[in-house]
């Protein structure tokens, strides 16, 4: 693919010789996805090596989720105002440095802090990467192809993380899942600085909404913390109650600040953009359903069937490949059938796949018996992933692409936290230490609930299309 560069905000675009630009952006998304998922299979070794309690081990994952979800809006607006290339490079260097410290960590507190810093890096890198695509490539086929490649890296990384994590843990121990990021993120920073168009001078007429940034970041961070912590600890604990009250207060204050701000963090015009609002709903549902499947499959492979770390990673190889194929098929389907029809079709396929997968999850079932459901689910997941980011960027002004990316990716994070909490509750609280006959029933219940959620989303999109087409 030969990129078709745009010229926005005074940037000067280099003449590309290949598809290197989009491959670097895809690598950025791969780093984000891998960093989220790669630690799952390493958790038992991390817990034993650093002396984590069972209660605190979840924060190796949760610290990343909370920090990423809380800072995404800030990261999106920073990309718009401070420069997309600058934020891309800063975020990649933040990943490299924090990963080095994480691999050298000797105490639980240091590792959890590192994961939080990595989460902040993700909240800066994700919107910078996505807004670089949506401003460098013209809306239409060029942008759709770039998003499909970027999407394949992101969606596939969620599965490849388990494979890579298993191999690294078996061969080199748990610190390797952190050290592997250091050269990759460092190379990413250098490539971004050399390849992407230089950011124009900072427009002094546009002000950074400090009050809005602080209230939004604080409110969303506390909300994600609540959604991660409360299902395990209880909704009536002091930490949960304080987090809920402070989150509501800060988000309310954020709304007041935004109405009075001369240059708000989230311009009100974006909330009148129906396509962006619909995309935000899809990203939340996607994360709550599709993105929760690896959690329950990991439990199934490791706890029900006793797979080791490498075997678990290998079991995710087929889903990773199928999801990558689905992202490419989704990009072609958008051109052939339109974005909404493609999303409805992809989600319908995903719902059927999740239902078939749930039926195949048995105590004595073989891996091949899972493949029909995995293939259908993966194709639907890949197609929906590509389509929802095309929808989130369509029709948004170049100067708002960063914050639009931040909005959509914030709902992705919050939706994932809510969805996993609800699914774990529906499954009877199954987790890494669960055992007994109720574990398999709980996993199957969660997967069937995922199928129902995806199916309801497809029906909602179909109903929205009909309502739109019949409205005067």
pLDDT, residue 142, reads: 81
Distance from C-alpha of 210 to C-alpha of 213, rounded to nearest angstrom: 5
Q: What DSSP string runs through 77-125?
A: HHHHHH-HHHHHHHHHHHHHHHHHHHHH--SHHHHHHHHHHHHHHHHHH
Distance from C-alpha of 356 to C-alpha of 375, rounded to nearest angstrom: 10
Task: Name the 3-class secondary structure at 198.
Answer: strand
- The token duo for 39 is 């630690």
Partners of residue 12 on adjacent β-strands: 198
For 361-389, letters b (16+ CB in 10 Å) and e give beeeeeeeebbebbbbbbbbbbbbbbbbb
Distance from C-alpha of 123 to C-alpha of 416, rounded to nearest angstrom: 15
Q: Give tens-digit pLDDT for 9-20.
A: 434 444 343 478
Distance from C-alpha of 386 to C-alpha of 155, rounded to nearest angstrom: 9
pLDDT, residue 159, reads: 63
In this structure, is the dihedral angle defined by the CA atoms of residues 342, 345, 348 and 349, taken in order, positive or negative? negative
pLDDT, residue 305, reads: 85
Chain position carrying tokens 């239409």: 140
pLDDT, residue 55, reads: 64
Q: What DSSP string runs through 47-61?
A: HHHHT--HHHHTHHH
Residue/partner pairs of 167-175 with CB below 8 Å, 24 or more apart: 167/310, 167/313, 168/38, 168/42, 169/41, 169/42, 169/45, 169/309, 170/308, 170/309, 170/310, 173/45, 173/49, 174/42, 174/45, 174/46, 174/49, 175/102, 175/103, 175/104, 175/105
Helix H or strand E encompassing 309: helix 309-315
Task: Name the 3-class secondary structure at 240.
Answer: helix
325 Cβ contact list (under 8 Å, min separation 6): 378, 379, 382
Could you list the mean pLDDT of each consecutive 10-residue stretch along the chain, which spans 472 residues?
42 48 86 78 82 74 80 81 89 93 91 90 87 82 82 71 80 90 92 85 65 82 80 79 91 85 75 80 90 85 82 83 86 84 92 95 90 94 87 77 78 82 78 64 92 93 62 40
């Amino acid at each position: 693919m030969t990129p078709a560069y745009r010229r926005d905000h005074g940037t000067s675009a280099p003449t590309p010789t290949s598809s290197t630009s989009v491959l670097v952006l895809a690598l950025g998304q791969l780093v984000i996805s891998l960093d989220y998922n790669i630690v799952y299979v390493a958790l038992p070794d991390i817990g034993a090596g650093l002396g984590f309690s069972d209660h605190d081990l979840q924060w190796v994952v949760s610290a990343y989720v909370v920090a990423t979800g809380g800072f995404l809006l800030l990261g999106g607006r920073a990309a718009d105002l401070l420069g997309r290339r600058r934020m891309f490079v800063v975020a990649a260097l933040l990943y490299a440095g924090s990963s080095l410290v994480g691999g050298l960590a000797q105490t639980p507190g240091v590792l959890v802090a590192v994961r939080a810093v990595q989460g902040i890096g993700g909240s800066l890198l994700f919107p910078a990467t996505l807004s670089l695509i949506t401003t460098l490539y013209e809306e239409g086929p060029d942008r759709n192809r770039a998003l499909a490649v970027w999407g394949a890296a992101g969606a596939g990384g969620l599965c490849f993380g388990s494979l890579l994590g298993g191999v690294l843990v078996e061969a080199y121990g748990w610190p390797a899942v952190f050290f592997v990021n250091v050269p990759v993120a460092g190379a990413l920073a250098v490539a971004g600085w050399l390849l992407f168009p230089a950011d124009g001078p900072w427009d002094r007429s546009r002000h950074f909404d400090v009050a809005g940034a602080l209230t939004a970041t604080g409110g969303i961070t506390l909300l994600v913390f609540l959604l991660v912590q409360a299902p395990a600890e209880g909704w009536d604990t002091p930490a949960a109650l304080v987090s809920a009250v402070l989150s509501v207060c800060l988000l309310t204050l954020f709304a007041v600040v935004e109405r009075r701000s001369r240059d708000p963090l989230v311009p009100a015009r974006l909330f009148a953009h129906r396509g962006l609002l619909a995309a935000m709903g899809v990203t939340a549902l996607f994360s709550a359903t599709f993105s929760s499947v690896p959690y329950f499959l990991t439990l199934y492979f490791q706890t029900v069937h006793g797979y080791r770390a490498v075997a678990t990673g290998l079991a995710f190889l087929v889903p990773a490949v199928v999801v990558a194929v689905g992202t490419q098929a989704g990009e072609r389907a958008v051109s052939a059938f339109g974005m909404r029809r493609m999303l409805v079709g992809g989600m319908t396929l995903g719902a059927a796949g999740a239902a078939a997968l749930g039926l195949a999850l048995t105590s004595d079932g073989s891996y091949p018996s899972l493949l029909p459901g995995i293939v259908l689910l993966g194709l639907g997941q890949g197609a929906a992933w590509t389509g929802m980011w095309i929808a989130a960027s369509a029709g948004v002004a170049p100067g708002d692409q960063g914050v639009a990316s931040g909005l959509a990716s914030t709902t992705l994070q919050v939706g994932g936290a809510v969805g996993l909490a609800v699914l774990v509750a529906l499954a009877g609280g199954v987790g890494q230490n669960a055992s007994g006959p109720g574990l398999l029933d709980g996993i199957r219940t969660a997967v069937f609930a995922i199928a129902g959620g995806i199916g309801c989303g497809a029906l909602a999109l179909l109903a929205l299309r009909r309502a739109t087409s019949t409205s005067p």
